[in-house]
Amino acid sequence: MYEVRRFDLENPWVYVFTNVVVWVVVVSTIQTVLFDGGLTGAVIRGTGGGFVCGITMLYLRKKDWF
C-alpha cells in the first residue's frame, strides 16, 4: 500500500550532503550558543568542514580503510 523509501548513504551525493548538513547544524549551534558568534560565519565553516570531511571519508571508504 505504502512505498517505503530508504535513506541510502551508499550514494556519494547523499552521504556528502548529509555530512554537510550535520556539520552546519553542529558548528552553528556551538558557535552561536557557546561563543556568541555570528551565524553566517558558522554556516560557512560548517559547510567547508562537512564537505572536506565527507570527501575524505568517501576516499577512505574507497581505499577500504573504513
At 29, list the grid cell: 549551534
pTM of the model: 0.78
Domain parsing of the chain, residue ranges? 12-64
For the segment 6-58, what is each residue's pLDDT rounded down to a tens digit?
667 778 888 899 999 999 999 999 998 888 878 888 899 999 999 999 999 98
Dihedral angle computed from the Cα positions of residues 53, 15, 51 and 22, in that order, rounded to the nearest 10 degrees:
-80
